[in-house]
Amino acid sequence: MFAMQQIVLAGGGCMGAMHAKVYRLLPDACIAAVVDPRGERVLEGLCADANVPVFPDLAAALERVECSAVDICLPTDLHRETALLALAAGKHVFCEKPIALTREDAAAMTAAAQSAGLQMMVGHCIRFWPEYLELKRAVDSGEYGRLVSLSMDRRTGRPGYSIGNWVNRPERCLGAALDLHIHDTDFLLHLLGCPEAVVSQGLRDETGWSSISTQYVYAQRIVVAEGAWNYPEKWGFQMRFHAVFERGVLEFDSSAKDTLMLTAGDSSAAAVRLPEPSGMSPAVREQIASLGGYYHELDYFVDCLERGEPVAISTGAQAAESLALVLAEIESAASGKIITLKKSSS
Ligand SMILES: NC(=O)c1ccc[n+]([C@@H]2O[C@H](COP(=O)([O-])OP(=O)(O)OC[C@H]3O[C@@H](n4cnc5c(N)ncnc54)[C@H](O)[C@@H]3O)[C@@H](O)[C@H]2O)c1
């Protein structure tokens, strides 16, 4: 066990920079090396120390640098080969979502982690996002009665930021249905388990499935979710949910001033105050709040490694189920058929 978790960060683009911000705040982790074919110029974007070595590929980094884990922030089509290389070298893996593009790739990754006895966590950050944690708490506790309907959505302008434009190439990303909407699909699995069936409609363009809307069939509940990135590039980003309980409504809108509102009992809508981390300066608390689930997921991962405990939330196996469910939604959108699902045993 290391005194400090030394992390090799594979990919120094958009998410690599987000993860680098988090590692700067975590006292028990640091970036030991960066892997990126763009070379040392990525360090500036990561605001990383100029002494952090940058390697063009992971094999070179693993030969030269000691580390406990590899954090994969690479285009999705590179997740499988990178995770397998890291696991074969005896390193734990944190992999950005989606785990992979195909069920076969996801199965190979989870099997490799299991047979090596190593941890593999996938960056389904919504499981760690404060407002969604409150939704899960409300459902699990039954505080406002049973959840009777839930709608979730996630919308953004066309992604123009990716290095090499991989996000807009369907063979590397599969479009908004997988890259964006999987956040809500994954959270639904976490919250309510596997639905009995899905029925979806989608829009396809040169970037793949740019918009998808799904009805998830659960007994005695109406559940829908939509994900789309076919908005103008400068439109911005918005994620929302609207949860109706027997005795209350919980509403989240990432673009609102008060993001989470509760209407319960005889009261009108009021902002919900979320718990804040304690024992930190106001400046650090503010940084953590701005990083949302990205901070909490990596904090959890590093904590699991420090304690030598298995990752239980957002595991590779759970991420493989989320991928399979999105692929079923795409199958429904492509065929116009309801897709019946085999319930998972987990
Ligand atoms: N959790 C989230 O909310 C969220 C948000 C955005 C992206 N993502 C996911 O994060 C992953 C990365 O996306 P991104 O937005 O950071 O992409 P990006 O294009 O911004 O960055 C990718 C980086 O990988 C580097 N790279 C490319 N090929 C490489 C290789 N062979 N070896 C090493 N580095 C290589 C590129 O130079 C670039 O720096 C994707 O799987 C994406 O779906 C997750």
Along the chain (346 residues), what's the average pLDDT of each consecutive run of 10 residues? 84 97 96 96 88 96 97 98 98 98 98 98 98 98 98 94 92 96 98 98 95 97 97 95 98 97 94 88 93 97 97 98 98 98 63
What confidence score (pLDDT) does residue 344 get? 52
- Among 18, 34, 71, 74, the mutation site with the greatest number of ligand 1 atoms within 8 A of its Cβ is 74
Check if 97 has its Cβ closer than 6 Å to any atom of ligand 1.
yes
Nearest alpha carbon, ligand 1 atom 5: 15
In whole angstroms, give the CA distance from residue 102 to residue 99: 9
* Alpha-carbon gap, residue 289 to 180, rounded angstroms: 22
Residue nearest atom 34 of ligand 1, based on CA coordinates:
36
Q: Are 155 and 238 in contact (CB under 8 A)?
A: yes
Is there an atom of ligand 1 within 6 Å of 36 CB?
yes
Q: Give the nearest ligand 1 atom to 123 CA.
A: 1
Q: Are 75 and 166 in contact (CB under 8 A)?
A: yes
In contact, 291 and 22? CB cutoff 8 Å: yes
Burial 134-169 (b: 16+ CB within 10 A, else e): bbeebbeeeebeebeebebbbbbebbeebbeebbbb
Spatial distance between the Cα atoms of 251 and 261, rounded to a whole number of angstroms: 5
Distance of CA 144 from the midpoint of ligand 1 (Å):
40
- The CATH-assigned architecture of domain 5-124+293-311 is 3-Layer(aba) Sandwich (3.40)
Domain assignments of the chain as residue spans, ordered by start: 5-124+293-311, 127-291+322-340
Give me the phi and psi of 20, to 5 degrees please.
-60, -40
Which atom of ligand 1 sits closest to the CA of residue 159?
15
Give the integer Cα–Cα distance in Å for 299 and 314.
Answer: 13
State which ligand 1 atom lies nearest to the alpha carbon of 72. Answer: 11
Q: Which amino acid is at 105?
A: D
Expressed in angstroms and rounded, the spacing between residue 258 Cα and the centre of ligand 1 is: 31
Verify whether ligand 1 is closer than 6 Å to residue 35 (CB atom). yes
Q: Is 240 in the pocket of ligand 1 (CB under 6 A)?
A: no
Cα–Cα distance measured from residue 291 to residue 285, given in angstroms and rounded to the nearest whole number: 10
Q: Which of 317, 296, 330, 76 is nearest to 181 (CA)?
A: 330
pLDDT for the residue 197 = 98
pLDDT of residue 346: 47
Query: Which token pair is 152?
Result: 């979730």
In short, whether 73's Cβ falls inside 6 Å of ligand 1 is: yes
Substitution site in 9, 15, 40, 184 for ligand 1 pocket (most atoms within 8 Å of beta carbon): 15
Place of tokens 């976490």: 190
Looking at domain 127-291+322-340, its CATH architecture is: 2-Layer Sandwich (3.30)
Q: What is the pLDDT of residue 342?
A: 72
User: Which of 46, 73, 237 is the pocket-test mutation for ligand 1 (most atoms within 8 Å of CB)?
Assistant: 73
CA 12 to ligand 1 center in whole angstroms: 7
Q: What is the pLDDT of residue 3?
A: 67
Number of neighbours of residue 44 by Cβ within 10 angstroms: 11
What's the pLDDT score for residue 185? 98
Q: Are 207 and 190 in contact (CB under 8 A)?
A: no
Q: How far is the C-alpha of 71 from the C-alpha of 33, rounded, in Å?
A: 10
Q: Does residue 96 line the site of ligand 1, with CB under 6 A? A: yes
- The confidence score (pLDDT) of residue 47 equals 84
Distance between the two ends of the chain, CA-based, in angstroms? 30
**Helix axes of 14-25 and 282-307: crossing angle, nearest 10 degrees:** 90
